[in-house]
Amino acid sequence: MQPLTLKDECCALLKCGKNVCAVICGLLLSSCASLGPTYNYNEVVVLNQSRVAVRDVLISATESGRMFSCGNIAPRGICSNKFPPQLYRGNPIQITWMVGSGQRRSISVELELPESLNPELPLRGVLVIDGQGAIDAYLQQEAPGPDP
């Protein structure tokens, strides 16, 4: 007895004629294959590129409810948070912060995947607060290390 193929199992589940099932299963399986690679992320970095301190920074993932904060980021300073790898889903993140004058700002951003990433390396979300208080947000990866 030969082992069942994925197509045979799909046809058995759908309980339809072999030819109809072959077409339906072929479409289902090809759509699964076209989903592309999955990515993980394990760090969020906030860079303060302004000339004033940025206070009370709160970064929250709107979908999962995860969050972290930075109390005070000096001018040209950095705050980062590293954690175990999480599946990257492309959901928006909310950033709130206070600039030197005490004005609270808030924005929601979506980090888009660049075209040339290695799915085996974790992603890092980078949020840059510029001198006008605008946010530039992007994803990046470390370059792979040398082979041992």
Higher pLDDT, 103 or 33: 103
Reported as a single tens digit per residue, the pLDDT across 33-42 is 446 789 999 9
Q: Given a cut of 80, is residue 26 above it in pLDDT?
A: no
Nearest of 114, 92, 111 to residue 37 by alpha carbon = 114
What is the percentage of the chain residues whose pLDDT exceeds 70?
A: 72
For residue 31, the model assigns a pLDDT of: 47
For residue 25, the model assigns a pLDDT of: 47
Reported as a single tens digit per residue, the pLDDT across 36-88 is 789 999 999 999 999 999 999 999 987 888 899 999 999 999 999 999 999 99
Reported as a single tens digit per residue, the pLDDT across 5-23 is 545 554 555 565 555 545 4
CA distance 29 to 144: 32
Say what the pTM is: 0.71
Tell me if 91 sits within 8 A of 108, measured CB to CB: no
- What residue ranges in the chain does DSSP mark as E strands? 40-48, 54-61, 67-73, 78-87, 93-98, 104-109, 123-129, 135-140
Domains defined along the chain, listed by start: 1-35 (no CATH), 40-140 (2.60.40.2890)
Average pLDDT over residues 21-31: 48
